Amino acid sequence: MGLHSHGVPAEPCFSWEITFHDSLSRYGCLLIDMARFSHEGKWSSDHKRGLPVLLMSARPRLRDVVDGMRRGALDFLEKPVDIEDLLAAVRKAFELNRMALAAENIR
């Protein structure tokens, strides 16, 4: 059961460049599999632009979790991911993104 079956729009991205350059309004958050995107630190640039980042890994190491949270990740999920935990994290990220977009529109 994926995000789509729970009413959450999701789009897989297999190229870092596509993800990295998309606008804040196109995606509500980035869900990054640490095994796929091992480009250390690149995702933190998206976070600095306001895009919430969720990290996940099948084999999380404590230092990866700590490093990810220090770089500004909203959450770190261990695979296999419990769908309820994932949905809660995504909803929280979407809400933060919605607030960031609203704040930009006020300026």
| φ/ψ (deg, to 5) at 102 | -65, -40
| φ/ψ (deg, to 5) at 100 | -65, -40
Going by C-beta distance under 8 Å and a sequence separation of 6 or more, which residues neighbour residue 42?
16, 20
Residue 13's SS3 state is coil
pTM, to two decimals? 0.79
With 90 as the cut, is the pLDDT of residue 87 above it? yes
Going by C-beta distance under 8 Å and a sequence separation of 6 or more, which residues neighbour residue 93?
28, 29, 52, 53, 54, 74, 75
Give the residue from 21, 38, 92 showing the smallest Cα distance to 100. 92
Q: How far apart are CA 15 and CA 28, in angstroms?
A: 18
Instruction: List pLDDT tens digits, range 16-57.
Output: 555 545 555 677 888 888 877 655 555 555 555 567 888 999
